[in-house]
Structure 1
């Protein structure tokens, strides 16, 4: 499961236009826009002369080591290709053209790029690199590096790069520090920001190396960290680069404060939790409600050596659920998918497994104004009417709803409704087994990467068995799981589709027909529908926020009524536990936590080390 950012290009804040101010109105209208930042929601929140992001301490001390945990393994330092399993923290080695503000929706500020230029016709974007930008071997970051990176990612990278960059016609180098991307059209409103997210790789370092193979050499980057000690599959230490070129930039001040970031790898989350309790891990986010409720009352927490805290976030929560692979004939009938969704008893699970912590997800764009609701009206109805013959009639007459049970676990009403749908789809119960007209049983596998999720999947299997469905759970190691995902070798999996305040190019990878077959893609359920393809196009080409909301509401509604997932739940906070050795600016931040801005507090760390030694 992968999370991509989406942006809309609405309202560029301008600076440095120079002579354009003295031109005639017609000439000024045709002048390119030069800016230090791009924002989806009008003007960027921070002015051109901002000194640092508002959630950082610009004078945070540098030094010390933080130890983090990761589940699974790694055998490569190349995160851009399908082959291999990349190290979880490796992207910190490279800088991007622009950098987001964690406390601001849909914005980017210049990192490698000093300025961004948008022509009046919006048929391209130019980035002017900072003259001081250097790779960590001292060589300058050049426009040639940017162009080479783009072409390499597009031609050899994971499929989503080709989807993201599909509307780029060409790239040209117009000077040592100026690179220009030429677009096929001006309708892809987020493309300048998508390109701003691109890491820049050193062309000279990659010469003679095979980019589409797993990388076992520590890579060269321009970022604040470089690879230190490592053992594939076990541990990776990133070391802060002394006097890195970007350390005094406003977008970097007060961040990346640890001298070392060490990541230890564990076979599952249970082992990782025990390592945290033992003081082998410093910081941990917890995504299992049962563990959060029951496993964080050990002596170190009771005495204050470990802090347990929930940080409220203000992010769209997207969609998580049991995703059905419609490449499999078993899941190609929407009535079957609907039935499988009806059989899941969320109220029982929330009460008995999650301690009432979660809210049921009823939209692919949950926790945001992008979520559809009620029945389609106004502009959304007008848009959907174009596809009325290809859509289920109930989409126009009733809100999307999920069953609500009494939480007893006896969800007979929902199971009867599910069985009725299955019978309409040609399935019958014979000898307590659900079979089709040829006598073949309804049987499938739920594939998991973590044993912790078995406690959710196994009750679901029991509910399905009550209507004759033979479902079973299979848990594999993370490396095997990733390979099976890349080749779509599964029946049902847990999917999670992250969303932003402005969905865009990532939607092509999630839902469209061209994304069904490429290995390593993001269309995990194999969604292929001309209606959805066209709605995704409407999202990508929406000229303003109003049109974007209309198109996204329509897309959301069509996805929901096609029942590609059994929707799960979401949480509006980040659960974190950490040994009390850190300093951070304790103010609300949109993302909940901005861990890159934390630092090791020498006084707290000394006391915490003593507490660990005493066996807390």
Structure 2
């Protein structure tokens, strides 16, 4: 029987969490910092509100992942890395509290101080902070890490580096960053970079260090063993330096974390049923209701937990590469939106049980309103009225089919849009004026039979329009290489967003990242209006402006018809060994980074 966790009744709304006006200065170095107003937790807090400071230690968490890996360095652009390593095996100066939109508290740093307008930020390191080899964390390690990550690491680290005018050592354990732009979020973002040991990389190319180098870090977990493409095992460091730091109390309670890799999702599920894994996240409502009734569940050895959240839906669906034809034409993208028969697919795949994502920030206060833009949102959009996609100002909603497989009405609309774009039917094929057929490649990664089934249904609809796409399924390494090179027509895409959107939005949708190989903007969005809305988010002087700017951005992205959205998950479904427990107080982000296995524990009884 499912254990339904109480809704987050005690959690205040986002509007209540963020104060009306920003407060950007401290009278003296502080224990934490928030994007707006004061940090939610006081200086004398003892643990995060969703952690159990009395949790026992011990046990194992074994989770599965579909795919493979050929690197253990999550900070480089090259290779495929188990995604959890970035968060489990490394630490930063500050740590997030996932029970507030954007609040940071000291981890490697014991204090933070900022200028009157956050034009600079200064951190003081904890004297007790140490790497797993016992050596102290120094200012030189931090400065080397920041520069190396920005110049040799993954592109996600480069953006902030260009906004730092200077980085200087100001004391034995302190360093200061001064910024060259007016961007209050930077004071928080620089506190979230991983810190690595400088000496370990003497004579070693950071950009090439894959499986050959396991970076020494300060984190509670160390990589104990691995087999390329098969598994990674992490063990809790018994000499971990930060066990008594408030943001660490009650976290990292599990002795061993195993990440097992499988070539197919169905094989991974069978491994969980057989007891090879003791934790499993499900994403299909129908499967959750009908296929989690195997003996271990019936006997109470495996529990079903449902974890709600208040974060935005983000976007999950099928992205179109706007850098090249045919998807450089919004009319073609709009035709794809109409041809994609979500209602029929949803009924086929989940019994119609899952709601659809309606916008990039849906399911939250940051999501766009229905109908025409009004008030502050309209003020933000008006200067770009002539360049915005249809519906951004007047209102846009996704096409809705009649639920039948034929989807006649929407296919008629798709046909009209294609003809308007110059693609007509000749001899049963959709061609342009030169007689060239309309075709494109759908590139998918191996392992997700559900995604492939959706594409098969979609391809059948496209055939009725005279379009025959090529569906290519490749292994994870090839897939990553092609995504980095933007070598695709359409692909499955998922991007989570938070209650505190900021500079990372430039990485996802910004013009500067549109043609930067390996960037997160795989869609190729190149829009001055998008760039300006992100800038408005970053420079908002009130909660009203912040929410309005995000809603304006949401309108432009959604009306741009860049991604065909599918399901949203307003609750996480986790099946797990009954001996694995978690606190009753849930963060507003729910099952997000920093929840499982961070605050879970193991009870033998």
Q: TM-score, normalised by structure 2?
A: 0.92
Q: Residue by residue, what CA displacement relative to the aligned partner does 1:312-346 show, whole Å, maximum 9, x if unpaired?
A: 11211111121100112211111111111111111
Cα offset, 1:80, TM superposition = 1.0
Distance in 1 (alpha carbons) for counterparts of 2:542 and 2:204:
44
Equivalent of residue 331 in structure 2, options 330, 335, 338: 335
User: Match of 1:85?
Assistant: 80
User: Match of 2:600?
Assistant: 598
Cα offset, 1:573, TM superposition = 0.3
Distance in 2 (alpha carbons) for counterparts of 1:416 and 1:547:
40
Q: Residue by residue, what CA displacement relative to the aligned partner does 1:96-119 show, whole Å, maximum 9, x if unpaired?
A: 111112222211111011110001
- What secondary structure, in the 3-state scheme, does the structure 2 residue paired with 1:150 have? helix
Cα offset, 1:290, TM superposition = 4.3
Distance in 1 (alpha carbons) for counterparts of 2:160 and 2:430:
42
Conservation of the 8 A alpha-carbon contact between 1:67 and 1:262: yes
Cα offset, 1:509, TM superposition = 1.0
Equivalent of residue 393 in structure 2, options 381, 391, 396: 396
User: Match of 2:190?
Assistant: 195
- What secondary structure, in the 3-state scheme, does the structure 2 residue paired with 1:518 have? coil
User: Counterparts of 1:551-590 in structure 2 under 5 Å?
Assistant: 551-590=549-588
User: Match of 1:29?
Assistant: none
Distance in 1 (alpha carbons) for counterparts of 2:491 and 2:200:
39
- Do structure 1's residue 49 and structure 2's residue 44 form an aligned pair? yes
Distance in 2 (alpha carbons) for counterparts of 1:40 and 1:530:
25
Distance in 2 (alpha carbons) for counterparts of 1:247 and 1:392:
51
- Do structure 1's residue 361 and structure 2's residue 357 form an aligned pair? yes
User: Match of 1:288?
Assistant: 284
- Do structure 1's residue 150 and structure 2's residue 146 form an aligned pair? yes
- List gaps (5 residues or longer) in structure 2: 1-16
Equivalent of residue 65 in structure 1, options 60, 63, 67: 60
Q: Residue by residue, what CA displacement relative to the aligned partner does 1:504-535 show, whole Å, maximum 9, x if unpaired?
A: 11111112221122221011111112222222
Equivalent of residue 384 in structure 1, options 370, 381, 385: 381
User: Match of 1:541?
Assistant: 539
- What secondary structure, in the 3-state scheme, does the structure 2 residue paired with 1:323 have? strand
Query: Runs in 1 of length 4+ with deviation above 6 angstroms?
Result: 7-10
Cα offset, 1:536, TM superposition = 2.5
- List gaps (5 residues or longer) in structure 1: 1-6, 18-32, 604-616
User: Match of 1:134?
Assistant: 130
User: Match of 1:38?
Assistant: 33
Q: Residue by residue, what CA displacement relative to the aligned partner does 1:248-280 show, whole Å, maximum 9, x if unpaired?
A: 111101111111111111112111111100000
Distance in 2 (alpha carbons) for counterparts of 1:78 and 1:385:
45
Distance in 2 (alpha carbons) for counterparts of 1:39 and 1:246:
22
Distance in 1 (alpha carbons) for counterparts of 2:207 and 2:149:
10
Distance in 2 (alpha carbons) for counterparts of 1:489 and 1:338:
21
User: Counterparts of 1:147-546 in structure 2 under 5 Å?
Assistant: 147-185=143-181, 187-215=182-210, 216-373=212-369, 374-392=371-389, 394-397=391-394, 399-449=395-445, 450-452=447-449, 453-546=451-544
User: Match of 2:6?
Assistant: none
Conservation of the 8 A alpha-carbon contact between 2:197 and 2:215: no
CA pair 586-395 structure 1, distance change in 2 beyond 3 A: closer
Conservation of the 8 A alpha-carbon contact between 1:123 and 1:182: yes
Distance in 2 (alpha carbons) for counterparts of 1:89 and 1:420:
45
CA pair 188-129 structure 1, distance change in 2 beyond 3 A: same
CA pair 12-53 structure 1, distance change in 2 beyond 3 A: farther
Distance in 2 (alpha carbons) for counterparts of 1:73 and 1:393:
41
Cα offset, 1:136, TM superposition = 1.3
Distance in 2 (alpha carbons) for counterparts of 1:57 and 1:213:
40
Conservation of the 8 A alpha-carbon contact between 2:117 and 2:184: no
Distance in 1 (alpha carbons) for counterparts of 2:437 and 2:143:
54
Conservation of the 8 A alpha-carbon contact between 2:286 and 2:353: no
Conservation of the 8 A alpha-carbon contact between 2:310 and 2:364: no
Distance in 1 (alpha carbons) for counterparts of 2:264 and 2:74:
21
User: Match of 1:614?
Assistant: none
Q: Residue by residue, what CA displacement relative to the aligned partner does 1:72-131 show, whole Å, maximum 9, x if unpaired?
A: 112212111111112333232221111112222211111011110001142111111111
Conservation of the 8 A alpha-carbon contact between 1:266 and 1:272: yes
Distance in 1 (alpha carbons) for counterparts of 2:348 and 2:218:
49
CA pair 214-289 structure 1, distance change in 2 beyond 3 A: farther
Range moving further from structure 2, 526-535 or 250-259: 526-535
Distance in 2 (alpha carbons) for counterparts of 1:534 and 1:588:
35
Distance in 1 (alpha carbons) for counterparts of 2:386 and 2:326:
24
CA pair 567-583 structure 1, distance change in 2 beyond 3 A: closer
Distance in 2 (alpha carbons) for counterparts of 1:58 and 1:561:
46
User: Match of 2:9?
Assistant: none
Distance in 2 (alpha carbons) for counterparts of 1:435 and 1:303:
59
Q: CA RMSD in A?
A: 1.9
Distance in 2 (alpha carbons) for counterparts of 1:588 and 1:116:
27
Cα offset, 1:572, TM superposition = 0.7
Conservation of the 8 A alpha-carbon contact between 1:319 and 1:364: yes
Distance in 2 (alpha carbons) for counterparts of 1:597 and 1:348:
39
Distance in 1 (alpha carbons) for counterparts of 2:219 and 2:376:
46
Conservation of the 8 A alpha-carbon contact between 1:13 and 1:37: no
Q: Residue by residue, what CA displacement relative to the aligned partner does 1:37-76 show, whole Å, maximum 9, x if unpaired?
A: 1123532222111111122221222122222212211221
Cα offset, 1:11, TM superposition = 4.5
Q: Residue by residue, what CA displacement relative to the aligned partner does 1:522-571 show, whole Å, maximum 9, x if unpaired?
A: 11111112222222222222233222222222222122222111122202
